[in-house]
């Protein structure tokens, strides 16, 4: 066989050899990526656990505050007590978020020693006596963050169907009084419903109702009589007579708020029965910025230097 000269070019490798080389490179790259993902997951696991557990504890505690408000008949429309109850509830929820985060941190420290234990056994081992300093800092930090993120303490109480609700951000004037909304008013109420939800419960589903506030059924009888007289055409004469008797009366000033059908039906029943206790409704209208106050309080207790060091892949 003739020998190839030194300067002659080499023949290109076969397609099969190139395919094998590409597969080997892809396997190596996949292995490196898997190791990097495992490293990232191990480093993010404490953050995710602290944020998740503290967020759940904070949300459950706020729901319990609303339920307590329903039992005590304290709503967002209750003067003084609504704001006081909401502030106490936010502080208590912040304490719960902080303590659950501390338990999560202790669980991560003792994770290897808790294998084989049942749920109750793990809870007893990770539980620890709360320190007064932690309780004070968690409550103060939670209250401050709640206000900085735009929260209002009275909004932690349930909504009162006889008053504007927790989500009553915008409304329109009810120009036609106690009559139903016109087509342009209904279009505007639909826009507000899609933006803010029901002003009592916060839902954005179902039929949309233009809710009179204050409710038409709650107006004083003489105000309803005056409006009825206006519709019949002798409202001016009635006003002159009332003025002669020195009885001051003004037509009702109502506004339209977006409302769901369920709250509208419950409102109508409460107005008919005139029972204030049945007019309270709890609200779960999705996440708001101030919900993250509990997450921040929980992450305060995360200290990576105290956690056991994990094996590095690279």
Question: Domain range spanning residue 48?
Answer: 24-158+287-314
For residues 29 and 153, membership in a common domain is answered with yes
For residues 245 and 136, membership in a common domain is answered with no
> Which one-letter DSSP state was computed for residue 153?
G
Arithmetic mean of pLDDT over the chain? 78
* pLDDT classification of 75: cutoffs 50, 70, 90: very high
Helix (H) or strand (E) holding 17: helix 15-72
For residues 237 and 267, membership in a common domain is answered with yes
For residues 193 and 123, membership in a common domain is answered with no
Q: Are 82 and 154 in contact (CB under 8 A)?
A: yes
Q: What's the whole-number mean pLDDT along residues 19-25?
A: 77
For residues 112 and 194, membership in a common domain is answered with no
In a domain, 199, yes or no: yes
In a domain, 266, yes or no: yes
For residues 147 and 295, membership in a common domain is answered with yes
Q: Are 76 and 159 in contact (CB under 8 A)?
A: yes
For residues 263 and 179, membership in a common domain is answered with yes
Q: Which residues share a beta bridge with 258? A: 210
In a domain, 5, yes or no: no
> Is the pLDDT score of 25 beyond 70?
yes
In a domain, 229, yes or no: yes
Q: What's the whole-number mean pLDDT along residues 270-288?
A: 76
For residues 46 and 77, membership in a common domain is answered with yes
For residues 193 and 149, membership in a common domain is answered with no
Q: Token pair of 93, please?
A: 């929820």
Q: How far apart are CA 149 and CA 143, in angstroms?
A: 10
pLDDT above 70 as % of the chain: 68
In a domain, 267, yes or no: yes
Q: Are 97 and 298 in contact (CB under 8 A)?
A: yes
Task: Give pLDDT, residue 74.
Answer: 92
Q: How far apart are CA 274 and CA 262, in angstroms?
A: 18
Helix (H) or strand (E) holding 281: strand 280-281
In a domain, 82, yes or no: yes
DSSP reduced 3-state for 236: helix
In a domain, 102, yes or no: yes
pLDDT above 90 as % of the chain: 31
* pLDDT classification of 247: cutoffs 50, 70, 90: low
> For strand 280-281 and strand 159-160, is the pairing parallel, antiparallel, or unpaired?
antiparallel
Task: Give pLDDT, residue 257.
Answer: 94
> Is the pLDDT score of 313 beyond 50?
no
For residues 109 and 141, membership in a common domain is answered with yes
Q: How far apart are CA 140 and CA 133, in angstroms?
A: 11
For residues 171 and 52, membership in a common domain is answered with no
The HSE-up count of residue 40 (CA atoms within 13 Å, CB side) is: 6
In the chain, the number of structural domains is: 2
Least confident of 28-42, 57-71, 77-91, 148-162: 28-42
For residues 292 and 153, membership in a common domain is answered with yes
DSSP reduced 3-state for 288: coil
CA angle 138, 144, 150 (to 5 degrees): 130
> Is the pLDDT score of 61 beyond 70?
yes
Q: Answer yes or no: pTM beyond 0.75.
A: no
In a domain, 10, yes or no: no
Q: Are 254 and 216 in contact (CB under 8 A)?
A: yes
Task: Give pLDDT, residue 175.
Answer: 75
């Amino acid at each position: 066989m003739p020998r190839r000269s030194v300067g002659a070019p080499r023949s290109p490798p076969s397609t099969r050899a190139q395919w094998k080389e590409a597969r080997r490179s892809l396997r190596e790259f996949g292995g490196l990526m898997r190791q990097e993902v495992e490293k990232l997951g191990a480093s993010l696991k404490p953050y995710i656990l602290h944020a998740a557990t503290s967020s759940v504890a904070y949300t459950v505690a706020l729901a319990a505050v609303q339920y307590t408000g329903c039992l005590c008949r304290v709503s967002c429309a209750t003067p003084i007590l609504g704001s006081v109850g909401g502030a106490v509830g936010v502080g208590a929820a912040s304490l719960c978020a902080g303590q659950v985060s501390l338990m999560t941190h202790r669980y991560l420290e003792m994770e290897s020693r808790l294998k084989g234990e049942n749920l109750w056994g793990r809870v007893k081992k990770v539980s620890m006596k709360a320190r007064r300093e932690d309780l004070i800092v968690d409550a103060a930090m939670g209250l401050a963050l709640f206000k900085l993120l735009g929260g209002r303490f009275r909004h932690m109480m349930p909504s009162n169907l006889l008053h504007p609700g927790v989500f009553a951000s915008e409304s329109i004037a009810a120009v036609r009084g106690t009559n139903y909304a016109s087509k342009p008013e209904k279009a505007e109420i639909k826009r507000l419903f899609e933006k803010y939800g029901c002003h009592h419960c916060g839902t954005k589903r179902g039929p949309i109702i233009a809710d009179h506030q204050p409710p038409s059924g709650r107006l004083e009888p003489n105000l309803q009589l005056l409006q009825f007289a206006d519709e019949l055409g002798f409202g001016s004469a009635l006003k002159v007579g009332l003025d002669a008797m020195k009885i001051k009366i003004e037509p009702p000033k109502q506004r339209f708020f977006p409302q769901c059908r369920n709250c509208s039906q419950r409102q109508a029943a409460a107005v008919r029965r005139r029972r204030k206790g049945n007019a309270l409704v709890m609200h779960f209208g999705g996440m708001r910025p101030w919900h993250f106050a509990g997450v921040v309080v929980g992450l305060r207790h995360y200290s990576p230097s105290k956690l056991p060091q994990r094996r590095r892949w690279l």
